[in-house]
Copies of this chain bind each other. A is one copy, B any other.
Amino acid sequence: MDKFTLHEEPISGNCYKVRLTAALLGVPLNRRIYSILHGETRTAEFLQTVSSFGRVPVLQIGDSTFLPESNAACFYLADTAAAAASLSPKRPPLIPWDPLQRAEMLRWMFFEQNQHEVNIATLRFWVLAIGRQNLDESRLAQIEGKISAGEQALDCMEDHLAKNEYGWFVGDSITLADICLFAYTHIAGDAGFNLSRWPSILKWCEQVKQVQGYIPMN
């Protein structure tokens, strides 16, 4: 199996997704830590060798392959873990084998990047890392809209979880959809969202924490 190194920032939920996926799969992962606030992902060395995007996480595969985008990194770890473990039938753990369930998993992962992360994670970063008093006018003008859109995203999740008898996003067991949505949902309180409004989400968070191999964010 290839050796994996995660280039990451510990306060990032996007980075935590990849660590949690590796932990649940039992795949070893080296960690290389950067401070976003200190500009450590914008140095010439980072831009030249790790990613010209200046963002983390980046999953390094072996010596010279670098994969950006958290959800793609989770997919690669799960997709290759089954092959590496020579599982038969080749059903990647955390990725459903059935094409419809696999597409439904991806549906929630795209939802996460398009309607959840851009609101809840961004608000959390502004409040927690930058500080509300340091936000410029453009960001201040967006806060109300991001709170509203974040609440809508949580409403969608609540509605879906309440209808699923197993309490997972897809099918009867945990998939990457749960991991990717869990990362910024379970810490949405940092961004000012009171999760007690969404009881099925709270229950699902507890269910994720009970999965064998679970690791907390910090």
Contact = CB atoms under 8 A, between A and B. Distances in A.
Interface of A: 52-53, 61, 65, 67-73, 75-76, 79-80, 83, 99-100, 102-104, 106-107, 109-111, 113-114, 117-118, 137-138, 141-142, 144-145, 156, 159
A180 to B, nearest CB: 10
Nearest to A163: B52
23 contacts: A65-B100, A67-B103, A68-B107, A68-B111, A69-B106, A69-B107, A72-B104, A72-B106, A72-B107, A75-B102, A75-B103, A76-B100, A76-B103, A79-B99, A79-B102, A83-B99, A109-B110, A110-B110, A113-B113, A114-B114, A138-B142, A138-B144, A138-B145
A180 B118 CA distance: 19
Main secondary structure of the interface of A (DSSP, over half): helix
A209 to B, nearest CB: 25
A104 B142 contact: no
A99 B76 contact: yes
Q: How many copies of this chain does the complex contain?
A: 2
B106 A75 contact: yes
A53 B157 CA distance: 10
A69 B142 contact: no
A73 B109 contact: no
Contacts of A61: 100
Which residue of A65, A70, A103 has the most chain B CB atoms within 10 A of its CB atom? A103
Contacts of A76: 99-100, 103
A71 B110 contact: yes
A67 B107 contact: yes
A80 B106 contact: no
Nearest to A53: B156
